A and B are shown apart, each in its own frame.
Chain A
Amino acid sequence: MYDAHQSELFSFLLYATHNAATAEDLLQEAFLRLVRETRRGRAPDSPRAWLYRVCANLVTSQGRRRRSAERWESRNAPAEPSSSAEHDFLLREEELRLNDALVELPADARAGLLLSAHGYRGEEIAQLLGRSQLATRSLLFRARAKLRDRLRPGRSDDG
């Protein structure tokens, strides 16, 4: 189970949190919750979707708490030399731009966009995020518009 889903989930968490250490913590928490649920006899029917939902919830709740700190880190803190994955990630300019644009979005918008990038349809994203389809349509539209604005060439940093 871990080997089957760790890569996509870690990528989702890495881009959603913009922090390798946080992504590791959240991934561990997600799998531990799965272990607990399985021990209680409540193993999910679709572990992949269940894990994505837990990760999205963790990203959203963690993002609310540390949004300001993450913004500061993304602009001022150097890449963590201890994390080779994030170091490689930051070497690529296009990915860096996209990641910088992503991190400026609200956590739930980030999670919605990344879930879409990981192949989930709008109805599934609504279910994973615990929102109505109408609210999810609005969320994703605002997220895409804001991301486009952040990626627009010649955009100043003050937005």
Chain B
Amino acid sequence: MADHTRAARLAATALDFDLTSEERVELELHRAECVRCRQIEDDFRTDAAALHGLPRRDAPSQLRRAVGEAAWREAPPHRSRTGLILLVAAILMLAMAIGGGLAASQWLRRDEGAPGPTSTLSSVVSDQVQPDRLTRVPSDDLRPMDGDAHLFPSFIRRRPGGTRRSAPRADPDPAEGLPRAAGRSAGRACP
């Protein structure tokens, strides 16, 4: 059997919660033999009824107006989350439009011959290139075309049987000790 404190606790709890079957049996067994705890349970019920019977009071009529005015003063309400998202999206789109416009204008300027970003890039590449590591190209591949023969020294001669384009044969000028272009020597009369 429960003690008085336990019984009083169960009696109070029964007013607000559903007791388990074991708790109900425990309380009933104690109430059957304890007049004092029966009185306590009745007092709890009386107090609960008195609290429940407290009259309802209306709030003062001016409070309704005060609530409405306070709610109105707080308007406009906090910016909604959707509005914030739309604002951020608009800012991003504007930034993208401005950035795209700048990039397009820079591209057009580069096409017109103005130094663009590629010039900077080429200078960087040239700084990185090491001449001793470059692949050596055969000299035959460096022979000029026929129309440009006068621009090259006369010792550059055509290879016999060669099919590649090459400069015409040029005779060295012993008097000057300098090579002469073949085009010029062809028009001069031999002594």
Q: Point out residues on A near B: beta carbons under 8 Å.
A: 2-3, 6-11, 14-15, 23-24, 27-28, 31-32, 35-36, 39-41, 83, 85, 89, 94-95, 98, 113-114, 116-117, 121-123, 125, 133, 136-137, 140-141, 144-145, 147-148, 151
Taking the complex as formed, is B119 at the interface, i.e. its CB lies under 8 A from any CB of chain A? no
Given contacts A6-B64, A125-B16, contact A39 B54 (CB under 8 A): no
Bound together, the chains give a CA A2 to CA B60 distance in angstroms of: 12
Bound together, the chains give a CA A23 to CA B60 distance in angstroms of: 11
Count, A-B residue pairs, CB within 8 A? 108
Query: Are the CB atoms of A145 and B64 closer together than 8 Å?
Result: no
Given contacts A15-B54, A148-B40, 9 further A-B contacts (CB under 8 A): A7-B57, A27-B63, A41-B80, A94-B50, A113-B51, A122-B17, A123-B17, A125-B16, A137-B16
Bound together, the chains give a CA A132 to CA B9 distance in angstroms of: 17
Given contacts A41-B80, A98-B51, A114-B51, contact A10 B58 (CB under 8 A): yes
Bound together, the chains give a CA A27 to CA B70 distance in angstroms of: 12
Bound together, the chains give a CA A8 to CA B9 distance in angstroms of: 29
Query: Are the CB atoms of B58 and A141 closer together than 8 Å?
Result: no
Which listed residue (B43, B50, B59) contacts A6, Cβ 8 A?
B59
